[in-house]
Structure formats: C-alpha cells, structure tokens
Amino acid sequence: MDLDAIFSALSHPIRRAMLEQLAGGDATVSELARPHGVSLPAISRHLRVLERAGLLKEEPDGRVRRCQIDAAPLSAAFGWLTRYRVLWEDRFARLAEHLEETRKKERKEERKHAHNR
C-alpha cells in the first residue's frame, strides 16, 4: 500500500466524487465523467491517478469501460490516521471544556446583571 499515492489520489474533489459515485455501484467512464464539467482527457487522468493508487479497477465491457472501486487501500490511509485520533479527540475535549467554562461565566455575569437591575 503506497500511502503517498493513496493520499495524493484523495486530494482532488473530482477523484473523491468519483469514489463516492463508485461506492454506490460500478460505473462506465462516461457515467463517471457526467457530473463534472471537464474534458474527457482530464477525466482519464483522474482515473489513472485512482488506478495507480489501487483504488480503481477498469475492465472492458463490450464497447465501454466499466470501473469498480477497490476500497482496500483506503484502510491503509484510515490506519495511518487512527494513530492521531487521540490527539484530535483531546483537542476537541479541551475545546468543549473551554466553551463550557465560557458559558458558565457568561451565565454568572447575566445573573449578576439581572440582580443589579
């Protein structure tokens, strides 16, 4: 699993949209191209990037080419990210704590203000 190729493949919105579309089922190249207002050579380049990352399989099906997602490389990216999960969960927990403290202070101020009126 080549993390460089996988993360690089995920760094473009058209390629992420293609994977989202393929997660719903196989599609032909023209079905994959349809939602994006870009040229067919550009679509082909995106498909090559996905293929090199191992995320896409293309097979001839009569006169068209049928594409299929291979999600296995995504698990490598997922695995890399899970190691940092504790860091962002810590950060969100501290942020939530900070917001709670701020809210408490505000409520206290409001009560003081209401009392003094």
| Minimum gap (Å) between residue 91 Cβ and its own copies | 6
| Minimum gap (Å) between residue 111 Cβ and its own copies | 33
Give 64 or 71: the residue with its C-beta nearer to its own copies: 71
- Whole-Å CA distances, 71 to 20, 53, 74, 88, 116: 11, 10, 5, 25, 63
Give the whole-angstrom CA distance, residue 83 versus residue 32: 33
Q: Are 86 and 92 in contact (CB under 8 A)?
A: no
| Minimum gap (Å) between residue 94 Cβ and its own copies | 11
Give 40 or 81: the residue with its C-beta nearer to its own copies: 81
Task: Pick the piece of the chain touching its own copies (CB under 8 A) from 28-36, 37-45, 78-86, 96-104.
Answer: 78-86
- Whole-Å CA distances, 112 to 28, 41, 60: 66, 67, 74
With CB under 8 A as the contact rule, the residue among 39, 80, 98, 109 that binds its own copies is: 80
